[in-house]
Structure 1
């Protein structure tokens, strides 16, 4: 009886050991992806935070803002957008979430898509990052030039935009950091934004790890030489290369900023 009891204990110990060995086995690492970033993009570390930076020369690339498909329904995610563009024969080199949205994915602020205003300019006061004044817009004019400007300036100038998306807060305004930012606040998230170096150079940035708004703004001003830059979003920030996600997951998306190869002149 005693021997049988000891044998049972031994078997139990062996089973536990086998289970532990399986659980602690070396995990397979995912293969390294060579050439993982889209052509206009590069890795950059600034103030110990890693980023993907995409510098879009408008002489070489087309950039646009997209929200809904032919059925009028929001694409809803970068993955769905990339799939739809492929099916239309319009593959994108990269796509990034491009502005804040309500629960139904409608834009919180102005959206101009292919020259048509889909949502109006929002100058209201309320809580949240979007309303941390000054907020602003990223736009591409009918003249082919890009700009980032604060919402009040946009309302006064009423530029002729073919694409525009409103978000907030502004990160950099005419070379100055947003006046409400702390040097390095305690709010830290994966974040993405857009800056304009000049009328023909757009700079998209997304962090690979959490960053404060203050540090993110300094990235655009000090490392990327953008006199004006706009915060797009945090937490749901994502970047794809047209085939797969580079940063972020299956997050919802309202407006989407996308880049494609320049169309040849007809």
Structure 2
């Protein structure tokens, strides 16, 4: 009956609400972290209480009254001073307004979008939809371009593109209960990265965070990427 006791113990344990795994798709490697937004403490981080840019995953854990990290990732493009390029909202306080117009670089490759986080949901909105709906986000970060818009790949992505980078982004389920973060472990094109969210992860909306500076922290995998100091970050705190 030992197997029964082990089985009962297994079923008594709470399900992990953050899971990270390595997957292969269409010849490329990705790490995917799925967050149960209804259960987990999913938040954005940019500056500490003194107004200093936090800048790294380890510095998040060093903040007072913050528990240990389960997961973290860079979460949106930033200027040289590490201020957000687009809309940024943290703890209900708006740091940067919404930027709805086209512009240079990947951020201005419309449509771009916004990740909106509440206490129980996480949803990616195309920017103009976000402005029209004005959802009650606790935290929000704008980035671009969108990878997937209402189930369709971004129209500007080219299958024969030669621009390859390590890239990261986020997609959300239709009901907002699941946020799926992904980073490529091999250099990928926008078309390959968007197709991964659309066809493999089957998410209706997904948003690009960045390339070249893309980084991930996963406690379960023993992974903590190093590199340049970061601007906005998204993390699950335990």
Structure 1: distance between partners of 2:220 and 2:206:
27
**2:71 is aligned with 1:94:** yes
**What CA RMSD, in Å, does the superposition of the two structures yield over aligned residues?**
2.0
For residues 89 and 66 of structure 1, do their structure 2 counterparts lie closer, same or farther at Cα, with a shift above 3 Å needed?
Answer: closer
**2:158 is aligned with 1:158:** no
Structure 1: distance between partners of 2:187 and 2:165:
4
TM-score, structure 1 length as denominator? Answer: 0.78
Q: Extract unaligned runs of 5+ from structure 1.
A: 1-37, 262-266
Corresponding residue for 2:229?
Answer: 252
| Aligned positions of 1:2-151 closer than 5 A | 40-82=19-61, 84-85=62-63, 88-141=65-118, 144-151=120-127
Structure 2: distance between partners of 1:101 and 1:239:
17
Structure 2: distance between partners of 1:109 and 1:53:
25
Q: CA deviation at 1:188?
A: 0.3
- Indicate conservation of the 8 Å contact 2:18/2:36, yes or no: no
Q: CA deviation at 1:246?
A: 2.4
- Indicate conservation of the 8 Å contact 2:20/2:218, yes or no: no
Report how many aligned residue pairs link the two structures.
221
Please give the secondary structure, in 2, of the residue aligned with 1:217. Answer: helix
Structure 1: distance between partners of 2:179 and 2:133:
21
Greater share of helix? 1
* Structure showing greater Rg: 1
Please give the secondary structure, in 1, of the residue aligned with 2:107. Answer: helix
Structure 1: distance between partners of 2:221 and 2:122:
27
Please give the secondary structure, in 1, of the residue aligned with 2:223. Answer: strand
TM-score, structure 2 length as denominator? Answer: 0.87
- Indicate conservation of the 8 Å contact 1:95/1:240, yes or no: yes
Structure 2: distance between partners of 1:88 and 1:146:
23
Structure 2: distance between partners of 1:133 and 1:119:
19
Q: CA deviation at 1:174?
A: 0.1
Deviations along 1:112-163, whole A, 9 cap, x unmatched? Answer: 1011111111123221000000000011135x22211111111111111101
Q: Decide which moves more: 239-248 or 215-224.
A: 239-248
- Indicate conservation of the 8 Å contact 1:184/1:213, yes or no: no
Q: Extract unaligned runs of 5+ from structure 2.
A: 1-16
- Indicate conservation of the 8 Å contact 1:134/1:169, yes or no: yes
- Indicate conservation of the 8 Å contact 2:218/2:224, yes or no: no
Q: Decide which moves more: 235-244 or 69-78.
A: 235-244
List, as ranges, runs of 4+ consecutive aligned residues in structure 1 with deviation greater than 6 Å.
none
Corresponding residue for 1:212?
Answer: 189
